[in-house]
């Protein structure tokens, strides 16, 4: 399981012209589920996402976490993170989880996030989404568990 986190001052997801999830300061998480992933990996990734110190303290150092700033989280499913891009000119998705497992672990991750963070918003699993964000920094990290 992997996530691409972006520190944002705001972000939203639009599906068919309607905003389905929107946050202010916090993290936009693009969540990729791969074959072999399970709830334990989802829990470990959530721990990293919520505790990863990517927000500036009073001295301008990245020393604060999402929890530390009481920030907001926007979770968007992103199966293309599981792509193998090493060979050729077309990505292979052979390591991506089947949609049923991907959705199950995405929903599990969101449920656990809502239990531990104050504000959690989501995209819509499997939908054609338009993601709007203001990347603060820009600050972007890929997290794997």
Catalytically active residues, by annotation: 78-80
Cα–Cα distance, 16 to 29 (Å, whole number): 21
Structure tokens at 86: 């090493």
Give me the helices (H) in the chain, please. 39-51, 66-69, 99-116
Q: What 8-state DSSP symbol labels residue 58? A: T
Element (H, E) at 126: none
* Beta bridge pairs of residue 142: 4
**Nearest Cα to 13, choosing from 70, 67, 73, 69?**
73
- Residues 32, 2 contacting (CB under 8 angstroms): yes
Cα–Cα distance, 137 to 114 (Å, whole number): 26
């Amino acid at each position: 399981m992997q996530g691409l986190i972006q520190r944002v001052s705001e972000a939203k997801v639009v599906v068919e012209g309607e905003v389905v999830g929107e946050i202010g300061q916090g993290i936009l998480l693009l969540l990729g589920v791969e074959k072999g992933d399970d709830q334990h990996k989802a829990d470990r990734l959530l721990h990293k996402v919520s505790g990863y110190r990517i927000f500036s303290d009073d001295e301008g150092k990245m020393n604060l976490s999402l929890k530390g700033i009481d920030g907001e989280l926007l979770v968007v499913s992103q199966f293309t993170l599981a792509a193998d891009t090493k060979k050729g000119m077309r990505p292979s998705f052979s390591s991506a989880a089947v949609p049923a497992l991907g959705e199950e672990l995405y929903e599990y991750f969101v449920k656990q996030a809502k239990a531990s963070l104050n504000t959690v918003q989501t995209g819509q699993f499997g939908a054609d989404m338009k993601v709007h964000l203001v990347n603060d920094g820009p600050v972007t990290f890929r997290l794997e568990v």
